[in-house]
Amino acid sequence: MTRTLPPFIARLDKPVLAAFGCIVLLLLVGSLYSSSFLSPEYLLKQLQVASFLGLIATGMMLVILLGQIDLSVPWVVTVGGMMSTAAAGWGPLGEALAIPFGILCGMAMGLISGFGVAYLRVPSMIFTLGMNAVAQGLMVIRTGGFAPQDHTTDMMHFLATGASILQIPNALFVWAAVAAGAVFILTRTTYGRAVYAIGNRERAAYLSGLPTQRVMMLAFMASGGLSAFAGVLLAGYSTKAYQSMGDPYLLPAVAAVVLGGTNILGGRGSYIGTIAGVILITLLQSILSVMQIDEAGRQLIYGSVIIGMLLVYGRQKKAS
């Protein structure tokens, strides 16, 4: 007598199941190093930290599903944090507009990247790397190379560090709202179907009448806006913005998306996998921190994970 899996589990890709399996394994390993690793308070703290990475990974997933990459994440995150705190210093109106202003700055950076990739046909790896350098130069010019003296708003601090309902971090609710929107767009809208179609075969999608250039540009705008939003929350979390605040998030964001089963060549992936990847990377960071492995070692591990996943899943054929 054969035993069938529940429909929900049966629909999950092998990489997604592997990611959830690794999460369980990391929880068990972490509990060996610290007795408080499995406590509700500690797990909620990890989910709060994961929320910042989750926002960035959401935008990164949209871009990767198209078969592209966004390497401007580090300094777009910094742009979001610095410009929102700068707006907060403009008085009451600036404080009210600080969060949307930071997000809009990130969307503007994403718009430029999207235009360059979609309309000028510059490879995304090259163009977004250039945009990252441009964003870095702009922020260095603005601050003179020193830490800015701007401050965060109460709302930024509340969203990043507060806990309103059942002591659940507000940042987790923010990520949940963004995740719900991403799932709806990818599974229930024409835009989501177009993203998958372009990732599978851009030329076929174009010949079928899909506005491929517009879809690409919107995806890069979303990536820029979400990265900047993460920068806003990070500024609220640390009560200030600072140089290179987004540097630690590029490799983890790519690793989270790839670990979650999204094909690096585009066209295949589910958001539940990205959620699993984000939680996995966050727990891995926590364990590496407990084990006192330095940043260089962590970057080595992230890079090895990405290469390993590419070797296992990256060579799979796209859906026809």
Average confidence score pLDDT of the chain:
88
Q: Does residue 171 have a pLDDT over 50?
A: yes
- Model confidence at 1, in pLDDT bands (50, 70, 90)? very low
Question: What percent of the chain clears pLDDT 90, i.e. is strictly above it?
Answer: 57
pLDDT exceeds cutoff 80 at 317: no
pLDDT in tens, 200-239: 999 999 999 999 999 999 999 999 999 999 999 999 998 8
Q: Give mean pLDDT, residues 252-265.
A: 89
Q: What gap in Å lies between CA 77 and CA 80, rounded to an integer? A: 5
Encoded amino acid at 283, one letter = L
Smallest CA-to-CA distance from 277 within 294, 257, 292 is with: 257
